[in-house]
Structure 1
């Protein structure tokens, strides 16, 4: 374990900082074709006021092309830059390059915040702070969101946050951030500060704590968390953990105290970041609530050129529920290759498990204890009966599935010999209007299904001007080849019944089906073609709910899965539905007028509209 303790002769031009004191540490499937013909057939956030602090009025700022609502955003972390600002021995160009890189990439990286982890300077001198303070003005002018904190080299290391005035406080105290729109205030001491940025459409709280926060300082930090009980919290401080040579992090003696007294007690804290020691490393600890807290140590001052103002990119991906971490040096990256010496070449990017890794982080589950995602309320049928609705079924009562559109297309239950009836389930897609579904336990030549009655108005419609067919479905984890081609929605008439002779006329005139690989397929005989037109989805992961929509605008058909258009949508014009006036089947597939496969899984709401809908008009909207 190394740390940047007493001032020493190492400086920015060193290739290794081996003169720092050594301190003792504390506790530490390929698709199965349906039939042959189908093989070939689509940087900134909102601040919040904190009492007892110097604050700026909360508002959303704009200093780049970043998207505060996008599900992917980047937090930049910069550790110890002290050797770059060491009396007359430093070089500000690496820091300048990193700060400029952050501004230049605020759009493509969606950078929302920068956290500096302390030890900005080597000796805490006013001249050193004047130099680094000037460098940071580029962020101030751009309105960029950032935090800094004092490391042991920035102040008298034997003092707490009650030390009073210092060059650090005069340079990076509350006055500097008064106009920052992410700044949420500082404690009365001025050395502990709070910042709120917006990423992924939600606010996040960063607490930048002093090298040695006092009891009063931690009480203030606790008051900030108490005033924002639903915000995820990132704690940044200079010393918390160190790492062994294998990259495994352990709490230092002081880190253990900070953990016990503050971090472990606050379930909102899910990530901590500190510098001070090297090498970098990480660990996961359990807090008092039994939840994971990711503890990361990052510091590169021991490397060539004092670390070259190396930065670490924490790329949050709320869609994939992970954080991808990368460590780079914009300064060395920006040098022409011909001007990089041998040591500089090694610093362009750092790899290995300690510097380039991904964290699986289920954000809704981790934050459920303090910011639970409220389930969407059920919606009455009247809210989804949009103009053009031909049929709307809520599959919540197997004994009576009414057409809630009022058009008389009620469904009746039918069963193959010796099979179990349909059963009601409370399972449903999170965006489904009705919070219920029907469980189908079908298969080959068995199972129950639903059907419109003979003479139902829907049966005879050809929908030449377009249509939208929507359904919610879930396939069990044991969905296998034996359940292939179980119908979701199918016409009871065949192509031959409708006068079609191309491809296989014994196929249904229209069917929304699932292959053995759980691919959705819409196969239809359009009125303007003598052959089957097909749309295919990707392979759907099992044991989760999906929404599918088949949309025809009178000319072309597009399949959407969870509101996203799939690849394999045909460009050949397809007009209407060829049919002979027979019923519609839900949860079944027929071939040559014989129901031979029934659905296996759950089906929720199903709606048919006689026009093309936009995704924002789907049942999920």
Structure 2
């Protein structure tokens, strides 16, 4: 116990030096009646070791301890669950913490490039988080590839949602399935979590390009071989086509860390694209506020117990605490 406390103290101290104090409140305010929240976990690949496991534990603890006060209805993981695909120890650490949500909150994963082999084989993920863990849950809509791609059906605030989780650089057969899911549930409000999406628009040629090059929807891919679709291709072949889609969440790019923008789909619908990959103990809270027709997005550190007001990579507080306009009152 003393060792765990010491680890948390050291990690919290390191996190404090990274954050820039700008007078932002320490804790997310209690969610008012009529609102509800989705929590998005950024890449946890740095949390699956004895040294940094305290991050993972603290984030799941906070979700469980605050699921009522924050009115949390769903937890989404953007992928890179582990750092080393072949490490059974890392997969077991991830399983230990994520399965604490079982029976308490619906949750799902995007499979990241670290969660698969370069050709797209995600057998280790499928063995750790197989479809059999979820198939009896009322909110579990369906899957392919033994849960490597899945969707969930959630009702909150009197609204019905379909939440699609797609593997990194999903190939055409997966996008065909995804299009079918979104068409079948076109009467629901649609969200997508996938791993690689926003970051350096073109493939970096040198290390500084990951930080300094033009950022946007990426036009290159990392995995799935020749079958892999770039984020831009995933948008063109799938995401842009569905009028009910309003939010895409992603991770993958720790050297961009935080980014959000709003674009138009083929039907004129606004789609919010949001990246979060902090690797430093921050999670994202998407608080839906139907009476205000907005989603308040908060980036919070359970270890440091404060909202993020800026980091060295993304110093602007508005990259971490912001509001998305979204019509819900009709």
Tell me which interval the TM-score lies in, with the shorter structure as reference length.
0.7 to 0.9
Q: Deviation string for 1:367-425 (max 9, x for gaps)?
A: xxxxxx6xxxxxxxxxxxxxxxxxxxxxxxxxxxxxxxxxxxxxxxxxxxxxxxxxxxx
| Rg larger for | 1
Give the equivalent residue in structure 2 for 1:263: 239
Give the equivalent residue in structure 2 for 1:290: 268
**Structure 2 residue 102 is matched with structure 1 residue 137:** no
**Structure 2 residue 293 is matched with structure 1 residue 321:** yes
**Structure 2 residue 46 is matched with structure 1 residue 83:** yes
Shift of 1:137: 2.2
Give the equivalent residue in structure 2 for 1:358: 323
Whether contact under 8 Å (2:169, 2:231) holds in the other structure is no
Shift of 1:349: 2.3
Shift of 1:189: 5.2
Q: Deviation string for 1:349-371 (max 9, x for gaps)?
A: 2120110011222235xxxxxxx
Distance 1:147 1:190, change over 3 A: closer
SS in 1 for 2:167: coil
Q: Deviation string for 1:272-325 (max 9, x for gaps)?
A: 000001221111111111221111111102xxxxx12x2111100001111111
Whether contact under 8 Å (2:44, 2:81) holds in the other structure is yes
Partner Cα separation in structure 1 for residue 13 and residue 232 of structure 2: 32
Shift of 1:91: 2.7
Partner Cα separation in structure 2 for residue 96 and residue 183 of structure 1: 25
Shift of 1:15: 6.1
**Structure 2 residue 188 is matched with structure 1 residue 231:** yes
**Structure 2 residue 89 is matched with structure 1 residue 127:** yes
Whether contact under 8 Å (1:194, 1:205) holds in the other structure is yes
SS in 2 for 1:264: helix
Whether contact under 8 Å (1:159, 1:212) holds in the other structure is no
Q: Find 1:311's aligned residue among 252, 270, 283.
A: 283
Q: Deviation string for 1:458-496 (max 9, x for gaps)?
A: xxxxxxxxxxxxxxxxxxxxxxxxxxxxxxxxxxxxxxx
RMSD: 2.6
Partner Cα separation in structure 2 for residue 90 and residue 238 of structure 1: 25
Shift of 1:236: 0.3
> How high is the TM-score relative to the length of structure 2?
0.77
Q: Which has the higher helix share?
A: 2
How many residue pairs get aligned? The number is 276
Distance 1:249 1:177, change over 3 A: farther
Runs of 4+ more than 3 Å apart? 12-16, 243-246
Q: Deviation string for 1:2-34 (max 9, x for gaps)?
A: xxxxxxxxxx89969xxxxxxxxxxxxxxxxxx
SS in 1 for 2:52: coil
Structure 2 residues without counterparts, runs of 5 or longer: 1-10, 16-30, 201-209, 220-229, 310-316
Shift of 1:159: 2.1
Partner Cα separation in structure 1 for residue 14 and residue 199 of structure 2: 21
Partner Cα separation in structure 1 for residue 231 and residue 328 of structure 2: 25
**Structure 2 residue 107 is matched with structure 1 residue 146:** yes
